[in-house]
Amino acid sequence: MEFDNAIEKRDIEMMVNAFTDDCEIELLGVVLKGKDGVRTWLDWLFTHLVKVKFIPSIIIVENNIFFEEFVLMGTLQDGSVVESKQSEVLVYEDYKIKSLRLYFDRLDFVNAVVKGFVSKRIVNILISRSLEGLV
């Protein structure tokens, strides 16, 4: 909860200090390493979202591994709100985060950031085609 609260408050120093010096963050197929990687992730996050709120739904803790499924409610630069169901796996070492893996569908954010009729139409076609056979 402290870490989620720090993100919601945009307390960058608290968040960076929550990680080990040799940590790894993995999201969207990218691996960021060390505290510089933490800062890169936070810069990326706060460049796109001016406000973040987490709504946890499932939390599992076993030994030094923390798993959480949650909903991220984010406010974009233009004031629009995006909702994204996400999961994270954190591995702790000496009470600091050694590894953070985030899983979410980047399409949750596409409709909020894409501009123009043609771009929106292409995104909607891709979303529809990705669901063919399921619905």
pLDDT, tens digit, 9 for 90 and up, residues 19-61: 999 999 999 999 999 999 999 999 999 988 999 999 999 999 9
CA-CA-CA-CA torsion sign (115, 41, 93, 7) = negative
pLDDT of residue 5: 86
Domain boundaries, the chain: 2-104, 106-135
* DSSP code per residue over 6-68: HHHHT-HHHHHHTEEEEEEEEETTEEEEHHHHHHHHHHHHHHHEEEEEEEEEEEEEETTEEEE
pLDDT of residue 72: 96
pLDDT digits (tens, 9 = 90+) for 103-126: 999 888 887 778 888 988 888 898
pLDDT of residue 126: 87
| pLDDT beyond 80 at 96 | yes
d(CA 66, CA 90): 5
Stretch 16-21: mean pLDDT, rounded? 97
pLDDT of residue 70: 96
CA-CA-CA-CA torsion sign (28, 9, 110, 108) = positive
0.75 exceeded by the pTM? yes
Q: How far apart are the first and last CA of the chain?
A: 36
Task: Work out the mean pLDDT of the chain and round it to a whole number.
Answer: 92
| Cβ neighbours of residue 51 closer than 8 Å, sequence gap 6 or more | 74, 75
CATH code for the part of the protein at 2-104: 3.10.450.50
